[in-house]
Amino acid sequence: MRIVIADDHALVRAGIRSLLERLPAVEVIGEACDGGEAEELAASLRPDILLMDIAMKQMGGLEAAERVKLRSPDVKVIILSMHATEDYVMEALRIGASGYLLKDSATSDLEAAIRAVSRGEIYLGPAVSQIVVDGYLARSAGAARTAHLTLRQSEILRAIAEGKSTKEIALEFGLSIKTIEAHRAQIMERLGIHDIPGLVKYAMRTGLIPGV
């Protein structure tokens, strides 16, 4: 398997190269220090796998990965990053990455990722899989709790989470300020959340508003 490494730290690239060169049937054919160079190397060298960091200068890894998949769709991309959030993982999968590993993963995980991706499979490292599962369970639990809200309460919760004032929400729904305040109190009681920041986080987790 022919691999290109993309990371903006030379020492990190050297460490990854050293690990990869110990694996059988693996050849590192190029290194890139930013996303733009990674895109060009993917197009010119046509590696089997592009091992890509996310946080790089000039062009980040996710943008570069998306451009690589459009320009060189046969090149498989594995994200290797310190970013351990579900948003990053899901965005990487959305743009066509075939794998996602954290930089503190074991060498055996890196080898497993390369083997799996070379077979056409999607590979998420153990820690990454746990992040995705935890996010799914949190959303499922949140959805169950949101089911206890009325449609109007869900709409008011969304408006609160969007940062609208009580007066703005009252005008939007044609209700009095006291009615909105009563709805807010009921929402907090039903959800067991007793402050506005908590409501905002809850609305993000359950998909009422986009997360950041």
- Residue-level pLDDT at 207: 75
Locate all alpha helices (DSSP H) within the chain, ordered by sequence.
Answer: 10-20, 35-45, 61-71, 86-94, 107-118, 126-146, 151-161, 166-173, 177-191, 196-205
What is the C-alpha separation between 91 and 97, in angstroms, rounded? 9
Instruction: Please check whether the domain covering 2-128 is classified as CATH 3.30.930.10.
Output: no
The fold adopted by the segment(s) 148-205 is Arc Repressor Mutant, subunit A (1.10.10)
Whole-model pTM? 0.66
| Backbone Cα Rg of the chain | 22
Asked if 101 and 122 count as a contact pair (C-beta separation under 8 A), the reply is no
- Residue-level pLDDT at 211: 59
- Residue-level pLDDT at 212: 47
- Every domain of the chain with CATH number 3.40.50.2300 lies at 2-128
Strand order, beta sheet including 76-81: 27-32, 2-6, 49-52, 76-81, 99-102, 123-124
- Residue-level pLDDT at 143: 56
Asked if 80 and 62 count as a contact pair (C-beta separation under 8 A), the reply is no
- Residue-level pLDDT at 137: 63
Asked if 187 and 149 count as a contact pair (C-beta separation under 8 A), the reply is yes
What is the C-alpha separation between 76 and 48, in angstroms, rounded? 6
- Residue-level pLDDT at 147: 59
Structure tokens at 176: 């009095």
pLDDT tens by residue, the chain, 212 residues: 999 999 999 999 999 999 999 998 999 999 999 999 999 999 999 999 999 999 888 888 999 999 999 999 999 999 999 888 888 898 999 999 999 999 888 889 999 999 999 999 999 988 888 887 777 666 665 555 555 788 888 899 999 999 999 999 999 999 999 999 999 999 998 888 889 998 888 888 777 777 54
- Every domain of the chain with CATH number 1.10.10.10 lies at 148-205
Burial environment of residue 65 by CB neighbours within 10 A (0 to 12, 13 to 18, 19 or more)? buried
Burial environment of residue 12 by CB neighbours within 10 A (0 to 12, 13 to 18, 19 or more)? middle
